[in-house]
């Protein structure tokens, strides 16, 4: 799949070697910098990962793979994007700067390119307002 050079990868739960992927595939993802959409609550509830603390999110983040935090079937999994960010803070001990970077970087991969600058600017304004 990575050879097709997709714009994004959904979930990506089986790419890391700890989750059934091969070392070669993981290295290809890390090299390609193809962003991965991560739906923490969906992955835990569907048992594609055991729990939040063992989620592959931590491997993606530490390997500098672009991560887009998402929700999947908000009504089915009873979560929101705010809750997913909260889980990141609690589980992976992200500080405000890391959380802001995660949100800011995700705007680079929005398909509606006209909205990219708008959202990027709003997040930057939020960061500026909350630093003081």
Sequence ranges of the domains in the chain: 2-94
pLDDT at residue number 52: 95
pLDDT > 70? residue 132: no
Distance between CA atoms of 122 and 106, rounded to whole angstroms?
13
Cβ(30)–Cβ(67) below 8 Å: no
pLDDT > 80? residue 70: yes
- Chain Cα centroid distance, residue 92: 12
Rg, C-alpha atoms of the chain: 15
pLDDT > 90? residue 97: no
Q: Which residue has the higher pLDDT, 120 or 29?
A: 29
Q: What are phi and psi of 38, to 5 degrees?
A: -115, 125
pLDDT > 80? residue 73: no
C-alpha dihedral, 62 to 111 to 15 to 49, nearest 10°: 80
pLDDT > 90? residue 3: no
Residues 118, 39, 43: CA angle, nearest 5 degrees: 175
> How does pLDDT run across 23-69, given as a tens digit for each residue?
999 999 999 999 999 999 999 999 989 999 999 999 999 999 999 99
């Amino acid at each position: 799949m990575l050879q097709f050079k997709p714009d994004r990868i959904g979930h990506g739960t089986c790419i890391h070697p700890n989750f059934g992927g091969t070392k070669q595939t993981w290295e290809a993802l890390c090299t390609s910098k193809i962003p991965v959409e991560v739906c923490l609550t969906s992955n835990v509830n569907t048992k594609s990962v055991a729990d939040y603390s063992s989620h592959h999110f931590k491997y993606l983040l530490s390997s500098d793979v672009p991560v887009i935090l998402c929700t999947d079937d908000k009504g089915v999994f009873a979560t929101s994007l705010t809750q997913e960010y909260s889980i990141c803070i609690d589980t992976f001990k992200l500080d405000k700067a890391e959380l802001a970077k995660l949100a800011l970087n995700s705007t680079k991969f929005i398909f509606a390119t006209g909205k990219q600058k708008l959202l990027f600017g709003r997040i930057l304004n939020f960061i500026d307002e909350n630093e003081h």
